């Protein structure tokens, strides 16, 4: 790229990352504000937790629905519409008169989430070129990871000081800012005349798409199994004072940023090894949590290491681009549906382990199991790849001087 091209690409990636920052802040800060929201709409905190599930359900439903139905819409226009819908959903959430209406609005606010990240990843990857796709995706995801370190704690503090409704207004304002930046910096790439809902839906007919989504949905579940119950683990097992917990959680956000940057760079060099080794690293760090969560220092250090598991996210996103064929937008968006499935599965199974009397530390071994399950799906994907390539390879010529020479030439070419 020439310097002007790098500048333009940087502005595009910044605009897209701001949108990711707003989405991430809204998703994670809502978890921290659950007690305040529960008091505001007069329900129990456990009941208010269903608002998180409603948002996640919106992500899972919205990603395939929006990208398929609006397949012919130009990407820039879609990004503007998705950020506008996110901003509107959060502002209306701030005005919700009661629990039922807030539940519906959280579902609607989640609809743009997966589609936004899918389209944003494709725009960034196209601008960056084949050799830098994963790093471009990682820079877009940097907004999401930065939200866990800075955005969520800051907006949580705003919500606790000015009321939870003020926090939702802030999320809406960030969404509006992102829409403005997209309007200013993201180029008009035209429309694909061959795009159609049916073409996007062909993603569901590709086994490698399902396997790659399985890697994310299962392999990332362990991170959520542990993180969903990290506060009681820190306070009751590690002995971290409750007032220090928000600062301790920053270690997790810092780990996500480090993992995102490192994983994206490694994925551009060796995509599949990055995914496989990332899952094994994740398994080791989650297993270590059982032993490392007993003191404040080791628990916080372990949280940072668990956060680095985010390294596989840009790699899996890029893998989906490779295996989706012509259904690029739908497949890219489905990655975030899978991530929210991981959220729901991890939290549920981790909760079962705690409820069974195994203790808060049991979420570590549960996470280890999820990561190894994801690695199993990864191995199935590699096996299928090799099987398809063997079938597609032309038969070797018969033995003989000419055949042997041709075989040697083929070996050199491979």
Q: Is residue 174 assigned to a domain?
A: yes
Q: Is residue 412 assigned to a domain?
A: no
Query: In this predicted model, which residue has the larger pLDDT, 378 or 341?
Result: 378
**Residue 210 pLDDT level (bands cut at 50, 70, 90):** very high
Which pLDDT score, from 0 to 100, does residue 215 have? 94
Q: Report how far residue 157's alpha carbon sits from residue 151's, in angstroms, rounded to the nearest whole number.
A: 10
Question: Are 168 and 266 contained in the same domain?
Answer: no
328-353 and 99-128 are packed helices; what angle lies between their axes, rounded to 10 degrees?
A: 130
CA-based nearest residue to 119, from 317, 319, 342? 317
Question: Are 111 and 240 contained in the same domain?
Answer: no
Question: Are 235 and 331 contained in the same domain?
Answer: yes
Q: Of 131, 166, 187, which closes a domain?
A: 187
Q: Is the model's pLDDT at 10 over the cut of 80? A: yes
- Domains in the chain, number: 2
The overall average pLDDT reported for the chain is: 84
Determine the length of the chain.
414
Question: Are 213 and 334 contained in the same domain?
Answer: yes
Question: Are 102 and 51 contained in the same domain?
Answer: yes
CA-based nearest residue to 169, from 84, 83, 92, 55? 92
Instruction: Confirm if 213 and 332 have CB atoms less than 8 A apart.
Output: no
Question: Are 215 and 155 contained in the same domain?
Answer: no
CATH number of the domain within which 248 lies: 1.20.1250.20
Q: What percent of the chain has pLDDT over 90?
A: 35
Q: Is the model's pLDDT at 389 over the cut of 50? A: yes
Mean predicted confidence (pLDDT) in 371-380: 96
Q: Of 147, 167, 187, which closes a domain?
A: 187
Question: Are 34 and 5 contained in the same domain?
Answer: yes
Q: Could you tell me the two tokens for 280?
A: 């094994």
Instruction: Confirm if 1 and 9 have CB atoms less than 8 A apart.
Output: yes
Which pLDDT score, from 0 to 100, does residue 190 have? 61
Counts of helices then strands in the chain (DSSP H, E): 20, 0
Q: Report how far residue 371's alpha carbon sits from residue 368's, in angstroms, rounded to the nearest whole number.
A: 5
Q: Report how far residue 201's alpha carbon sits from residue 187's, in angstroms, rounded to the nearest whole number.
A: 26
Q: Of 153, 187, 221, which closes a domain?
A: 187
**Residue 173 pLDDT level (bands cut at 50, 70, 90):** very high
**Residue 337 pLDDT level (bands cut at 50, 70, 90):** confident
Degrees, nearest 5: CA angle 147-153-158: 115
Which pLDDT score, from 0 to 100, does residue 404 have? 43
Mean predicted confidence (pLDDT) in 11-34: 85
Which pLDDT score, from 0 to 100, does residue 60 have? 86
Q: Is the model's pLDDT at 303 over the cut of 80? A: yes
Question: Are 181 and 200 contained in the same domain?
Answer: no
Q: Is residue 400 assigned to a domain?
A: no
Query: In this predicted model, which residue has the larger pLDDT, 234 or 276?
Result: 276
Q: Is residue 411 assigned to a domain?
A: no
pLDDT in tens, 76-103: 999 999 999 999 999 999 999 999 999 9
CA quadruple 92, 96, 101, 104: dihedral sign:
positive
* CA within 13 Å, CB half, 29: 31
Least confident of 6-20, 33-47, 379-393: 33-47
* 296 CB-contact burial (10 Å; exposed 0-12 / middle 13-18 / buried 19+): middle
Q: In whole angstroms, how large is the CA radius of gyration of the chain?
A: 22
Question: Are 152 and 202 contained in the same domain?
Answer: no
Query: In this predicted model, which residue has the larger pLDDT, 222 or 152?
Result: 222
**The whole model's pTM is what?**
0.78
- Within 10 angstroms of residue 150's Cβ, the number of other Cβ atoms is 16
Question: Are 133 and 182 contained in the same domain?
Answer: yes
Which pLDDT score, from 0 to 100, does residue 195 have? 65
Which pLDDT score, from 0 to 100, does residue 193 have? 64
Question: Are 182 and 203 contained in the same domain?
Answer: no
Which pLDDT score, from 0 to 100, does residue 7 have? 77
Q: Is the model's pLDDT at 322 over the cut of 80? A: yes
Q: Is residue 410 assigned to a domain?
A: no
Question: Are 180 and 245 contained in the same domain?
Answer: no
Q: Is residue 407 assigned to a domain?
A: no
pLDDT in tens, 112-170: 998 898 889 888 888 888 778 888 888 888 888 888 888 777 877 788 788 889 989 99
Q: Is residue 362 assigned to a domain?
A: yes
pLDDT in tens, 42-73: 888 667 777 877 888 888 888 888 888 887 88
133-146 and 245-269 are packed helices; what angle lies between their axes, rounded to 10 degrees?
A: 170
Q: Is residue 402 assigned to a domain?
A: no
Instruction: Confirm if 117 and 336 have CB atoms less than 8 A apart.
Output: yes
Q: What residue numbers bound the domain in which 279 lies? A: 196-395
**Residue 411 pLDDT level (bands cut at 50, 70, 90):** very low
Mean predicted confidence (pLDDT) in 237-252: 82
Instruction: Confirm if 228 and 95 have CB atoms less than 8 A apart.
Output: no
Q: Is the model's pLDDT at 410 over the cut of 60? A: no
């Amino acid at each position: 790229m020439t310097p002007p091209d790098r500048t333009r690409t940087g502005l595009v990636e910044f605009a897209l990352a701001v949108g990711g920052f707003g989405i991430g802040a809204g998703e994670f800060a809502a978890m921290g504000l659950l007690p305040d929201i529960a008091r505001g709409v007069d329900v129990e905190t456990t009941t208010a937790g269903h608002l998180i599930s409603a948002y996640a359900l919106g992500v899972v439903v919205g990603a395939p629905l929006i990208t398929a139905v609006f397949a012919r819409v130009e990407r820039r226009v879609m990004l503007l519409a998705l950020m506008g819908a996110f901003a509107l959903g959060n502002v209306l959430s701030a005005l919700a008169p009661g629990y039922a209406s807030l539940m519906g609005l959280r579902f609607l606010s989640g609809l743009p989430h997966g589609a936004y990240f899918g389209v944003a990843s494709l725009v960034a990857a196209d601008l960056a070129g084949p050799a830098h796709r994963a790093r471009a995706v990682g820079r877009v995801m940097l907004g999401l990871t930065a939200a866990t370190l800075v955005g969520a704690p800051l907006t949580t503090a705003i919500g606790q000081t000015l009321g939870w409704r003020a926090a939702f207004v802030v999320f809406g304002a960030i969404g509006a800012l992102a829409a403005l930046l997209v309007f200013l910096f993201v180029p008009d790439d035209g429309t694909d005349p061959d795009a159609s809902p049916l073409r996007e839906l062909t993603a569901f007919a590709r086994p490698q798409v399902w396997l790659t989504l399985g890697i994310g949905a299962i392999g990332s579940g362990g991170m959520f199994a542990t993180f969903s119950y990290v506060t009681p683990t820190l306070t009751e097992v590690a002995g971290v004072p409750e007032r220090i917990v928000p600062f301790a959680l920053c270690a997790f956000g810092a780990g996500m940023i480090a993992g995102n940057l490192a994983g994206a760079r490694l994925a551009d060099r060796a995509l599949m090894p990055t995914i496989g080794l990332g899952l094994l690293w994740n398994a080791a760090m989650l297993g270590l949590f059982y032993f490392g969560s007993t003191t404040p220092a080791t628990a916080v250090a372990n949280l940072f290491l668990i956060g680095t598991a985010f390294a596989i996210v840009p790699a899996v996103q890029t893998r989906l681009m490779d295996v989706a064929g012509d259904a690029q937008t739908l497949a890219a968006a489905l990655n975030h549906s899978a991530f929210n499935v991981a959220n729901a599965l991890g939290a549920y199974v981790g909760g079962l382990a705690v409820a069974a009397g195994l203790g808060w530390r049991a979420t570590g071994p549960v996470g280890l199991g999820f990561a190894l399950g994801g690695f199993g799906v990864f191995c199935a994907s590699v096996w299928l790849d090799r099987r398809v390539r063997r079938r597609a390879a032309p038969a070797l010529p018969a033995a003989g001087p000419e055949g042997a020479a041709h075989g040697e030439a083929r070996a050199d070419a491979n």
